[in-house]
């Protein structure tokens, strides 16, 4: 589906196609996801039940996610933003943003498996050629396999071009050495997309000489689980010790992987923004209901400005973040890089989510701290969002630079 060039003026009206997709997503969650959530019960709300003693996600949770992922792919949702030539529906960035936000607004566990996340197909994988298509791209599009994006390293986070992981050509093979850290889905992936330097910076420049390789699960070792609060069991170290892979496992153009990753950064940031806005709206709905029901000192607590103003500020900031996200997605659909705009919407949405999550815990008082309620889980999730896909500081640096600050 090709998005038509917008005419004069500004419109936030959803197309019939977008409305149909959003309605169908809600129906899918009601008919498919909620049944799985109900069956799992406390396994999802109690972290001691949802994880093995070593911190890994339990088999029950992994099987549930796989079930939802495959059902979503069969229904045509899972990878609908991928190009049509690789099996996607090529939906617009605006549609993908709206879909991600819609799922987050439902507040239902496991909805992250409905639309391709870190373990699903991303535009870089669409560059698969030859046997890569049948072995990696197609099963990932179908939700039958999952992957991971291995770029971050123990000593290198935001300064990605200075990665220490190396790959050297040896005849018809590449030999990889290095360690990646905080790699989401690494413990469960069928294959990992590993970024390694293949040429030194002093020869090709800071951003050149980085190549992406497909490394299968039985070819690398999982080091320690990086149990970040809010993502326990989902991230781990990927250790590469003289790993030999065939030369045809290069994904995309040799030496150009960093540029490829940067080309898709805007999309990743609006995905984060969409989830953040959606979760924020769900939290504000929950806080509003509680404020209108809970009584103290002879009236509902929503009558106190200390409560109502928290909700009002949250609504205003969520409104602004949503508008920024939609504008950024629209720019991407027009073929713009949207460098400043993607940083603005990511920074604004994630910080709004963080502030609202904290306020909603405060509004609920001791109930907000209770393990059986999802409010602290959202605080943990919000804190992660301010780091992944570029930290707050990176976003602000980018905004300042794009607007002329030397």
**Residue in the block written with tokens 């990696």:** 136
Superfamily classification of domain 147-255:
Butyryl-CoA Dehydrogenase, subunit A, domain 2 (2.40.110.10)
The pLDDT assigned to 228 comes to 80
Domain ranges of the chain: 16-116, 147-255, 264-402
Architecture field, domain 264-402: Up-down Bundle (1.20)
Which of 87, 86, 69 is CA-nearest to residue 78?
69
* Cβ-Cβ contacts under 8 Å for 266 (sequence gap 6 or more): 328, 332, 337, 338, 339, 341, 342
The pLDDT assigned to 77 comes to 97
Q: Write the pLDDT tens digit of every residue in 8-35.
A: 567 889 999 999 999 999 999 999 999 9
Q: Taking a C-beta distance cutoff of 8 angstroms, is the pair 78, 143 a contact?
A: yes
Distances in Å between the Cα of 3 and the Cα atoms of 99, 275, 324, 332 are 16, 22, 19, 11
For residue 24, what are its two tokens? 């169908």
CATH of domain 16-116: 1.10.540
Helix and strand numbers (H, E) in the chain are: 16, 10
Distances in Å between the Cα of 72 and the Cα atoms of 24, 27, 32, 78, 120 are 11, 12, 9, 5, 12
Classified as helix, coil or strand, 358 is helix
Exposure pattern of 360-369 as b/e (b: 16+ CB <10 Å)? bbebbeeebe
The pLDDT assigned to 86 comes to 95
* pTM summary value: 0.93
Which whole number is the average pLDDT over 171-200? 96
Classified as helix, coil or strand, 296 is strand
Query: In the predicted model, is pLDDT for residue 4 greater than 50?
Result: no
Q: 1: pLDDT confidence band, cut at 50, 70 and 90? A: very low
H/E stretch holding 207? none
Which whole number is the average pLDDT over 320-326? 97
CA dihedral over 305, 308, 312, 314, signed as positive or negative: positive
Query: In the predicted model, is pLDDT for residue 81 greater than 50?
Result: yes
Residue 187 gets which letter from DSSP? Answer: T
For residue 250, what are its two tokens? 């290069």
The two beta strands, 295-296 and 221-225, are unpaired
Q: Which of 200-204, 250-254, 327-331 has the lowest mean pLDDT?
A: 200-204
CA 112, CA 146: separation in Å to the nearest integer? 14
């Amino acid at each position: 589906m090709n998005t038509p060039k917008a005419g004069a003026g500004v419109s936030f009206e959803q197309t019939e196609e977008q409305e149909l997709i959003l309605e169908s997503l809600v129906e899918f969650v009601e008919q498919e996801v909620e049944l799985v959530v109900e069956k799992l019960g406390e396994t999802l709300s109690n972290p001691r039940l949802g994880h093995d003693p070593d911190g890994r996600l339990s088999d029950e949770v992994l099987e549930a996610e796989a079930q939802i992922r495959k059902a979503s792919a069969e229904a045509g949702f899972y990878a609908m933003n991928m190009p049509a030539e690789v099996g996607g529906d090529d939906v617009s960035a605006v549609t993908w943003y709206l879909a991600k936000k819609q799922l987050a607004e439902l507040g239902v566990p496991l909805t992250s498996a409905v639309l391709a996340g870190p373990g699903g197909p991303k535009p870089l994988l669409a560059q698969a050629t030859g046997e890569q298509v049948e072995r990696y791209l197609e099963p990932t599009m179908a939700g039958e396999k999952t992957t991971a994006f291995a770029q971050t390293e123990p000593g290198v986070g935001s300064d990605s071009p200075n990665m220490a992981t190396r790959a050297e050509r040896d005849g018809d093979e590449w030999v990889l050495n290095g360690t990646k850290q905080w790699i989401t889905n690494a413990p469960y992936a069928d294959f990992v997309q590993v970024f390694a330097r293949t040429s030194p910076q002093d020869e090709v420049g800071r951003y050149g000489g980085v190549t992406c390789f497909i490394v299968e699960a039985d070819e690398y070792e999982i080091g320690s689980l990086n149990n970040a609060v809010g993502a326990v069991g989902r991230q781990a170290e990927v250790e590469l010790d003289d790993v030999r892979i065939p030369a045809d496992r290069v994904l995309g153009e040799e030496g150009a992987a960093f540029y490829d990753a940067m080309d898709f950064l805007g999309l990743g940031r609006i995905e984060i923004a969409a989830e953040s806005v959606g979760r924020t709206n769900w939290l504000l709905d929950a806080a509003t209901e509680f404020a209108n029901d809970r009584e103290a000192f002879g009236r509902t607590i929503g009558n106190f400005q200390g409560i109502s103003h928290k909700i009002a500020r949250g609504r205003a900031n969520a409104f602004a973040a949503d508008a920024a996200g939609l504008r950024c997605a629209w720019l991407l659909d027009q073929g713009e890089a949207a460098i400043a705009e993607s940083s603005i919407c990511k920074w604004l949405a994630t910080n709004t989510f963080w502030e609202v999550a904290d306020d909603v815990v405060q509004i609920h008082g001791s109930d907000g701290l209770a393990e059986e309620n999802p409010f602290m889980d959202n605080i943990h999730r919000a804190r992660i969002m301010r780091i992944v896909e570029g930290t707050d500081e990176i976003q602000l640096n980018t905004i300042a630079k794009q607007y002329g600050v030397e």
